[in-house]
Amino acid sequence: PAWWREHHHDIVRESWRAAAAAPRSARPWLVLALAFERVGRDGDAAAAYHRVTHLFPGHRIARKAIDRIRSRHGDALPEATPDDRLRNEFGLEP
């Protein structure tokens, strides 16, 4: 967990950039979701996993992760941070 916290901003920025460069790829969203999940931002993690399931409805890893997050929050998914706030927080380009 300490490593993820230390590198969180860099991982988020690079994953976001990679997702913009390859919009049909699940990998950047999976890395982004994992980074959010590892630092306790379950709402943001669930939103990223949902983007993967939107691209690939049967994606097993994303579906299992969403179920895992749901189980931690009593079958409800926590709310995600809006994209514009994430951009400001991480200095991301729109």
Element (H, E) at 27: helix 27-38
Element (H, E) at 2: helix 2-21
Instruction: Supply the pLDDT for residue 94.
Output: 57
Rounded to whole angstroms, what are the CA distances from 28 to 19, 42, 71?
Answer: 5, 17, 24
pLDDT in tens, the chain (94 residues): 688 788 999 999 999 999 999 999 999 999 999 999 999 999 999 999 999 999 999 999 999 999 999 999 998 999 999 989 988 998 887 5
What predicted TM-score, i.e. pTM, was given to this entire model?
A: 0.89
Give the span between the Cα atoms of 26 and 55, in whole angstroms. Answer: 7
Q: Which residue has the tokens 């630092």?
A: 39
Q: Which residue has the tokens 């919009």?
A: 23
